[in-house]
């Protein structure tokens, strides 16, 4: 039993548009252990979102091998990938992506519904997740009635409610002012402290430093790694 959650070997992603090839990622080697907090930094267009999408099984690599929890993901059919996303991955988006006509609680419940959990179990987990992000009192509100920071906290609750192996966040503070950004980062720190594995894309060096390890991308390649890769 090893505690390596993610192992990427020679991952490459090529986009083909109008017969123009864009090498969004090349030669990516990456390993993430359980409990790590990895931050991905790099200039705009360097491939951060693309890497996160492949990590989260939202997209597929065009080359290389990706083992998630020691299973190769290449062979997975679309519905299996959906299943893996649902069980093992929690997403936090830059633009929150709460569903406007579902209540806060229903938004958090969404992945659990797709998992087919019984209602009582769903309710328990939703309550717990909302409590963790401090949003229990807003469970019946609509997302439109919340501030940006509150919405992102609800989005975090949605990501953790299913108790995933790994949390993926693409610039979780990008749409927030600094005060709200700090609240969300504090939340992520708490999750990390409680044992969650996190991979986060960020532009902000200050936030990147909160992570146990930082990977810098440039032009689709990993140009620098810093921090300890053996953090607990």
* 166 in Cβ contact with 57 (< 8 Å): no
Asked if residues 60 and 75 have their Cβ atoms less than 8 Å apart, the reply is: no
Quote the CA–CA distance of 167 and 91 in Å, as a whole number: 6
The alpha carbon dihedral of 102, 87, 89, 222 has a sign of negative
Distance CA 50, CA 168 (A): 12
The span from the CA of 142 to the CA of 128, in Å, is 19
Residue among 17, 79, 228, 230 that touches ligand ATP (CB under 6 A): 17
Given 34, 35, 45, 204, the residue binding ligand ATP (CB under 6 A)? 45
Q: By CB under 6 A, tell whether 44 contacts ligand ATP.
A: yes
Q: Looking at residues 11 to 70 of the shown chain, list those that interact with Mg ion (rule: CB under 5 A).
A: 49
Tell me whether residue 93 or residue 114 sits nearer to ligand ATP (CB atom). Answer: 93
Partner from another protein, ligand ATP, Mg ion, none contacting 227, C-beta within 5 to 8 A by type: none
Please say which residue, 39 or 49, places its beta carbon nearer to Mg ion. 49
Interface stretch with another protein, choices 6-14, 23-31, 106-114, 130-138 (CB under 8 A): 106-114
Contacts of 17 (CB under 8 A, 6+ apart): none
Yes or no: say if 117 and 185 are a contact pair by the CB < 8 Å rule.
no
> Is residue 39 involved in binding ligand ATP (CB under 6 A)?
no
Q: Residue from 56, 64, 172, 181 that binds another protein (CB under 8 A)?
A: 56
* Closest by CA position to 41, among listed 166, 195, 226, 165: 226
CA-to-CA distance for 206 and 212, rounded, in angstroms?
Answer: 13
Contact status: 59 vs another protein (CB under 8 A): yes
From 48, 132, 138, 192, residue interacting with ligand ATP (rule: CB under 6 A): 48
> Any idea what DSSP says for residue 51?
H
Q: Which of 24, 52, 126, 199 binds another protein (CB under 8 A)?
A: 52
Is 91 one of the binding residues for another protein (CB under 8 A)?
yes
State yes or no: residue 107 binds ligand ATP (CB under 6 A). Answer: no
Q: Which stretch binds another protein (CB under 8 A): 18-26, 144-152, 189-197, 215-223?
A: 144-152
Give min distance, CB of 180 to ligand ATP, in A: 20
**Sheet of strand 71-72, all strands in order from the earlier edge strand to the far edge:** 20-33, 4-17, 63-68, 71-72
The pair phi, psi for residue 83, each rounded to 5°, is -65, -45
Which residues make up the interface to Mg ion (CB under 5 A)?
49
Which residues make up the interface to another protein (CB under 8 A)?
49, 52-53, 56, 58-59, 78-79, 82-83, 85-87, 91, 93-101, 110-111, 114-115, 143-144, 148, 151, 158, 170, 175
């Amino acid at each position: 039993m090893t505690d390596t959650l993610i192992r990427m070997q020679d991952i490459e992603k090529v986009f083909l548009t109008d017969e123009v090839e864009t090498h969004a990622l090349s030669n990516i080697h990456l390993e993430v252990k359980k409990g790590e907090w990895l931050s991905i930094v790099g200039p705009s267009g360097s491939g951060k979102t693309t890497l996160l999408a492949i990590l989260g099984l939202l997209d597929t690599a065009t080359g290389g091998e990706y083992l998630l929890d020691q299973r190769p993901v290449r062979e997975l059919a679309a519905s299996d990938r959906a299943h893996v996303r649902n069980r093992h991955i929690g997403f936090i988006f830059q633009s929150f992506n709460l569903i406007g006509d579902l209540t806060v609680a229903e938004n958090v419940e969404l992945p659990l519904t797709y998992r087919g959990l019984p209602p009582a179990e769903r309710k328990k987990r939703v309550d717990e997740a909302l409590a963790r992000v401090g949003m229990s009192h807003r469970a019946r509100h609509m997302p439109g009635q919340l501030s940006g920071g509150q919405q992102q906290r609800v989005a975090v609750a949605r990501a953790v409610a299913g108790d995933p192996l790994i949390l993926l966040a693409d610039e979780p503070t990008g749409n927030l002012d600094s005060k709200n950004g700090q609240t969300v980062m504090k939340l992520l720190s708490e999750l990390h402290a409680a044992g969650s594995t996190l991979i986060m894309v960020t532009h902000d060096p200050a936030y990147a430093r909160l992570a146990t390890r930082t990977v810098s991308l440039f032009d689709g390649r990993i140009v620098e790694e810093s921090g300890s890769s053996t953090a607990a």
